[in-house]
Structure 1
Amino acid sequence: MPRFDLPLEELRTYRNPRPVPSGLAAYWERTLDEARGAATSGVRCVPAETGLVTVDAYDVTFPGFGGDEIKAWWLLPRGATSELPVVIELLGYGGGRGRVHERLHWASHGFAQLVVDSRGQGSIWNAGATPDPHGSGPAGPGMLTRGVDHPDHLYYRRLITDVVRAVDAVGHLPGADPRRVATVGHSQGGALALAAAALHSGVAATAARAPFLCGIARAVELTDAPPYGELAGYLAVHRTQAENVLAVLDHVDVSHLAPQIACPTWISVGLTDVTCPPSGIFGAINAMPRRPEQVRVWPWNGHEAGGPDDDAHLADWLTDTLT
């Protein structure tokens, strides 16, 4: 795939031209206050039988949006005797927490690892265990167009809230040091990692590879690849609703949340990425008041960005940042 977006020199200064929604801070404060008030149960953490000999695994349930029960895996390096820095791992579009042996990367690097399920997902590239009991109006396939009739109905309002509540839950898990928490993810998971860092002061570091939900309005003009292609299809049917829909989605656009990110930040981007176009990602980067400590640019890569090279670099960066 040839490069299709702005030249790198322009990307380094590009800003999302859309205005921040009026009352965005109050919208998220109300959302999170309501979620915390709706919880009727606490964090549950029970041992999981896995057959693994290097990692201790626990099946976790914690209250998310609306008090809904969210599933997660809690993984600790076997033999750990002190409180460990925590990596909260958020997942890509369509994926769920899967099975424990699929997600051993961070525990193998010596971190406590919380693998957070994505509500209503987990049937595309691995399995999930958390339903989304909230309905929405007419929507296209996938998640991006669910609830686009009103900011309060957005699917991603619920999912981002779940991730913020995962940060809340860390302090109730055995072996965790809640002062050293990082949020990490690729694609959708990267968007969730950055959003959590913007909305929770307890995030000490955040890292996103090729993050989704950055510059949504521009992305849907540049690519018809999913998931943004789902939005393009919806707008092709709802022909007169484009501006209303994009204004609703602005409430979950990471480039509008990025000014609230104060912790050390690591981001990776592929310049041929048609899934999450680079200009949207740079729009989020350039909105951050604290320049990310690491911006890794891959000129010849797409949505995988740096792939395993990024994984190795990020492990070193998080070790230096959190330990």
Structure 2
Amino acid sequence: MSAFEHGFPFDPAYGRTLDQLLATPAPAPPDGFDTFWQARHEAARRVETAPAVGPQEEERDGFRIFGVSFTSVGGLRLGGWLVLPADGPAERGFVIGHGYGGRQETGPAVPLPLPRSAAILPCVRGMGARSRRPGIPGDADRHVLHGIASRDTYVIGDCVADLWCAASALLELVPELMTPGGARLGYAGESFGGGLGALALPWDDRFACGLLTVPTFGHHPLRLTLPCAGSGEAVRARHRDHPEIMDVLPYFDAATAASRIRIPMMIAPALFDPSVPPPGQFAVYNALTGPRELHVLTAGHVEHPGAAAEAKGLLAAGQRFFAERLAPRP
């Protein structure tokens, strides 16, 4: 992959072969890692999300799409989209994360991972057209540094909580997704949303399975040594001037968190990625100890020959994965 044509001043394959990527471990957890996240999750589950649905904005591909808002931790009101089947009740439910930069007013991508599903597609705090908030930077390079001086103020922790609160809002709006055994939601997230998903899923038993595509935030100690064109470069620059942020970053390591995930997972990392270094992506997959599937992509965050075919193949793989693991609601 180092011969892959590109114009970057570094090798977006980082000189690694697939075998080397599959040998990238997860960092050991810092002291109090589990208790920190369990407390964050418990606080998010206590939030009264008070979801509100706006008028229908469009209908396509068998789904009706609405604007939605809900309350997250800190009393912050966030926005996004609610997607419902055009006909009949929802058989499955999803929370779908977004990449850095958020979602704009063009609406969510459809189709969902499965037909006849309900989904909430939140914009986490500071991101996208519907969750820009005063005091929270809206661009990736500044957002990823917001509050980074402390694990208790780092915005990434609140963004993870936004996903938990989005799940609560979805279940309140679509109560038929609840079964006698509890909720069984799927999670799908790409890049930023993939990293947030890895941090969110270990602690929330409402999720039955997840798909993370080119996930970020994996193996921070290694990421700090790898140049990139994504938000990780802003973290690298901050670390050069403030090495003490390494007291914070281990609590937000997607690979460390992945070692706590027990539900079935599919990970789709890339061999070549200028924005999210592949070693960190593969570290997320390698850390998993539960049922797991690997779907290797040629490249991420860059156009390349065959990209459309790869995207189609990933969609089909994800649909199969979720269909096998999310039984339809009776």
TM-score, structure 1 normalization: 0.85
Corresponding residue SS for 2:267: strand
Question: Does the Cα contact within 8 Å between 1:60 and 1:72 map onto a contact in 2?
Answer: yes
Corresponding residue SS for 1:71: strand
Question: Does the Cα contact within 8 Å between 1:112 and 1:176 map onto a contact in 2?
Answer: no
2:123 corresponds to 1:117? yes
Q: Unpaired runs of 5+ in structure 2?
A: 3-12
2:9 corresponds to 1:10? no
Aligned-pair CA distance for 1:111: 1.9
Aligned-pair CA distance for 1:21: 1.5
Question: What are the superposed Cα offsets for residues 114-166 of structure 1, whole Å, 9 maximum, x if unpaired?
Answer: 111121122xxxxx211345569xx9943222112110110101101101122
Q: Unpaired runs of 5+ in structure 1?
A: 123-127
User: Which residue of 2 is the match for residue 19 of structure 1?
Assistant: 28
Aligned-pair CA distance for 1:23: 0.7
Aligned-pair CA distance for 1:4: 1.9
TM-score, structure 2 normalization: 0.83
Residues of 1 paired with 2:224 and 2:176: CA distance? 40
User: Which residue of 1 is the match for residue 219 of structure 2?
Assistant: 215
Residues of 1 paired with 2:79 and 2:148: CA distance? 26
1:308–1:246 CA distance, 2 compared to 1 (3 A):
farther
User: Which residue of 1 is the match for residue 163 of structure 2?
Assistant: 163
How many residues are paired up? 306
Question: Does the Cα contact within 8 Å between 2:69 and 2:80 map onto a contact in 1?
Answer: yes
User: Which residue of 2 is the match for residue 259 of structure 1?
Assistant: 259
User: Which residue of 1 is the match for residue 73 of structure 2?
Assistant: 65
Residues of 1 paired with 2:43 and 2:118: CA distance? 29
Residues of 1 paired with 2:73 and 2:17: CA distance? 40
User: Which residue of 2 is the match for residue 150 of structure 1?
Assistant: 150
User: Which residue of 1 is the match for residue 6 of structure 2?
Assistant: none
Aligned-pair CA distance for 1:79: 0.9
What is the 5 A alignment of 1:47-58?
A: 47-50=55-58, 54-58=62-66
Question: Does the Cα contact within 8 Å between 2:195 and 2:215 map onto a contact in 1?
Answer: yes
% identical equivalent positions: 21
Corresponding residue SS for 1:105: coil
Question: Does the Cα contact within 8 Å between 1:5 and 1:271 map onto a contact in 2?
Answer: no
Aligned-pair CA distance for 1:87: 1.9
Question: Does the Cα contact within 8 Å between 1:270 and 1:303 map onto a contact in 2?
Answer: no
Report the AA paired with residue 227 of structure 2: T
Residues of 2 paired with 1:98 and 1:319: CA distance? 29
2:232 corresponds to 1:228? yes
Report the AA paired with residue 13 of structure 1: A
Cα RMSD (Å): 2.5
Question: Does the Cα contact within 8 Å between 2:213 and 2:269 map onto a contact in 1?
Answer: yes
1:251–1:229 CA distance, 2 compared to 1 (3 A):
same
User: Which residue of 1 is the match for residue 43 of structure 2?
Assistant: 34
Residues of 2 paired with 1:69 and 1:21: CA distance? 31
Residues of 1 paired with 2:213 and 2:222: CA distance? 19
User: Which residue of 1 is the match for residue 53 of structure 2?
Assistant: 45
Residues of 2 paired with 1:33 and 1:221: CA distance? 34
Question: Does the Cα contact within 8 Å between 2:53 and 2:66 map onto a contact in 1?
Answer: yes
Aligned-pair CA distance for 1:315: 1.7
Question: Does the Cα contact within 8 Å between 1:91 and 1:97 map onto a contact in 2?
Answer: no
Residues of 2 paired with 1:184 and 1:140: CA distance? 20
